[in-house]
Every structure is written in structure tokens, then in C-alpha cells.
Chain A
């Protein structure tokens, strides 16, 4: 069998993977460096009977995908920092109403207009805490096109499985970089279908009553069942409530369905961790430089290892604690002022062993940058 090999941008990979996962609705608003996602959706969707909508802003974009998803479609929007900021209220709405959807944020330098054409990983904490109120969220990332394809499909799968918005964090380098992608064959990556209720027409349907396994079957909005959807705290029928017991139950359900499943939700890759004295933890495009320097130093006999995180939220605390136990020190490589490094410090035995290796000037963090900083940490000088 011949392979379907492409040489494409990361933004195009995201489009192809979303289609593979069953996406048939996209609404978005152009913003650098994510615009190619909208452009390729506009080209790909009409031909396969899907729907592409260009909206008047990012607020409308995320609202359109929540509406579309509720009617039974797999939906995504794509944006960058300023647009992601505008989406935060509706992101909370999708969390509260448990509407599956995927929000891709191709990160650029911030805050504000920031650095539209330069990469950054500055929105990691925004993905976690951008919308107001207590909540849980799933956020995924990847460092190369093959992984990005896999992770994008998984983003849709997790959104459907847990009835939640999933944030896909790309960055400008990954989005605009071109490299090889082997398109997986049909069924090579499992695709989770929408779980629809077996409750027959005319029988009372509870849109917010979990099954024994915790999953909530859905009913296409406006189809068989009439039900209420609201961003207010609500009961199992979806009706607003101020009953403390119901509120307590719902907030714990929204948190627990994600925070209690960290192990199932964790995606990661590891390189040379078994005997590593120095462990790098990285994610997204900066993990490429981290992997390069790890391989390079290994050739010289230095015991470096890399733990590449693909699930950033919920933070894989147990994994990080386990994997870093033997290391002399841990260096978190990221392109921000230290967003994941704080999480790592919280979970390792001695937080003084954890160092930040970062770059925030718009330039891509290079293997050389990482090597120099590790030598400084080791007291060997540059």
C-alpha cells in the first residue's frame, strides 16, 4: 500500500487531522498566525458537505461552534492570543453547558497585539485560567507534524468523551513550519463518535444526568428532545437553580470529570530518562530544540533526558514526579516567563532542583540557548 505523504504547514496538519476526526463545521475569524487554518477549512469543507463560516469576530466564532456542536456536529475554531482572549467568556459557557468543541490557539507573543508573526508559548496559563470561575480544562500540544495530527484527533476524541471544550495549543513556529506528514490510514487512529442518548422520542430526556461511567449522552439540539441549555448553574434537566446541593454537585462534577482522570488524559513522550542526571521538560516547538540538545549531548556521554509533555492541562503531576525522582536537576524549557516551570516546582520533591530555561524575545529557542543555560546551571560557564 502506498502512503499518503504530504509536505505541509502545521496549520494545514491541524485541518487535515480535524477532518480525519470527523469535523464538519468550522467557524473562525482571521488572525495571524492561525489564518491558514480558516483558509484551508474554507477550501476543504464545501467539497465534503461541511460548513465553513467566517464570523465577524472571535466571540461569534466560539459561540457558533458551541451552537453547531450542540446540534450534533463536530466543530472547531482557530485563533491566536488576542482572539483567544475574546473567546474566554464563551469558553466558560461551553465548559458550564458541557458542549464538546475544540479551540485551537496558534500562540504568538503577547500581551495585547504583541508579536503577531513571532512564536511564543505565553498562553499556557490562559488556557488553564482564562475564563472566570472554578473550572477544569483539557489542553494539548505537540512538537512535530506527525504528533500534531495524532493529538488533534485526540483533542476531538477527548472533547466528545468528556463533553468539554479542549484547547489545542500550537505556536507560530509549529503552525507555519513545513515538514513531512504521513496521513494515517482510516481507522489507524480511533475516532470517538458522538454519544447520543438511547432515550426514545417523547420520553423525558435529562441532558445533564451522567451515566454510571460518568459520560453524558447527548441529544441533537432541536431534534427528538426538547431541553434547556443555560450558562447558569443548572439541574439535570438543564434548568437554572440556586439550590446549594445542586450547585455543589455540578461544580464538583465539572471539576472531577477531568481532574480525577489525569492519568487517562496524559499524553507524553520520553527520551533517555532511565539514567538521566539532567532532565529537560518541554512541550510544543521548544521540545524540538530540547530533543536536539539531548541527543547531541548523549553522543558526548552526558546523561541528559527529555520528558515531552503533550497534555499540559490537567497537569500530569504524578508523571512528572515519578519521572524526575532520580535526576540531579530538572530544566523546564519553554518560550514564556515560566508557566509550566511553576507546576513542575509544585510537584517535585525539592523545588530547588527545578530551573527555567526560556526565551521570550520572539526568537525561537535554539539548542545552543538550552546548552548554554544548562552549563550555567551546572556551574560550568558558557
Chain B
């Protein structure tokens, strides 16, 4: 491990100041990537900025029909939180299968999101739930839709200019069903292919649909063709869930020694079908 300075600011402003003023300063959240990764991950770090002392980054609260989760909240804290359990149990369920127990005890929602790994589970879940991300930078604070955050990440990975402060997840409307299904990567325990679906029913028809894919492509993405095909369809009909109706055309799938692009494409269609089916069942539950 390299020699580096360690800082533990007590406020977001102090953290932002450190990160923007020192070259190669890196924020430290749960440490599951930077401390457990290869030595090379740390070799260029000059200052490790530990966010653990910033009280305002922790905690989960209900705010205007949404759950606002502090960036430093661990995955396990989210999965076991009583508010989440009451308002959005499907979120607890989805987060509860990320990695393994030890990881979930340390990894934070902010750190996980900021890492920007296309194989991570969280982006699909947040895309389907229409989350927003609150950021703080040298120019002040702002809130962006998760799509915009992920797009920005894909353009310039690991921007240090802005810190994730919190993630806000709107509580889905009544008669919504949320499902998250994932095939686990055998070595990394991340998502080889993951699909999250949030469907809302109204008078027997699908009034809203958000379906997102992670792990199988270079960037997590919503499946807009699938969403379009679902809208206004019958909640009890088979058509939305049948594999033949699921179009993933135009999406470039990743291939590597663990899974070919063709197989990931197949998994995406299967998991999408299953997630839709499960979400539909849950709209009436």
C-alpha cells in the first residue's frame, strides 16, 4: 500500500474542499473497492478522505413521498431499516442480495453508486425506481435524475468534483409492483445480468413501467422498448411477460470469459420476462 495522507472531515463542505483542492484525493466510504482491491487502486492516492465522520451523510428519512438515504448508509442498514421495510420492502429485498453479508455490512449506497462499475446491482434498482442523486461540489449542491448521473459517469468515470450526498427514492404509487432478479457473477459476486422492474397498475392496465438492466452491458440502461410495449397492456395478460414480446434489439451486450454476449442477451430477456411477471403479480398484492 502506498503512503498517503488520511483526512476525516466532519462536514460535507470540508470534504468537498479537500477533494477538489488536492490532486488524486480519493473519498473513502465503506472501503470495499479501494481497500480490498488491488494495490494499484491506491498507488496514486495522495489523500484518503474518510467520509465516515460526516453525520449528515447517514440516515434514512421519509421526505415528500420519497425515502432519502444518506450516502454513507450501508447496504445492510438499508435492507434492515424499518422505514424501508414499511414503505419499500422490495428495495430491502433487492439490496439484500447484493454481494454477501460481509460486503453489505460495509459497502455504502453512495460508495457503491460512485464506483460506477457496470456490473454492480444498484444502478438497475435505482433506474427502475426513478431515483435522484443529490450531489455536492465546489459550485454548490444539485440534484440530478439517476439517468443523468449514470450518463455523466459513463462520460467521465470517477469524477471527483462532486460528492454523492444522498440518494432519494420516490415511494412507488399504490398498485405498484417492484421486482429485482439477478444472475450472480461467479467470481465477483456482482451482477452478470440483472433486471429491475417497477410497474404500476390502474384499472387493470399497466399505467407506468420502468424496466432497467445492469451487468450485461457496458452501462446500466433502461429498456425503453420493453417499457413501451408494456404500457397500457393488461395487467393480467400474458403478453407482457412472454419472452417473445421482449425486445432487446439495439442493445450492445458484453461478452467475456464468464458469459458471451449472446448468453447475456438471452439472460436479459429471460430475467426481464420474469421480473415483469413478478412485478405484475405484486401490483395487485
The answer to whether A and B assemble together is: no
Chain A positions near chain B (C-beta within 8 angstroms): none
Chain B positions near chain A (C-beta within 8 angstroms): none
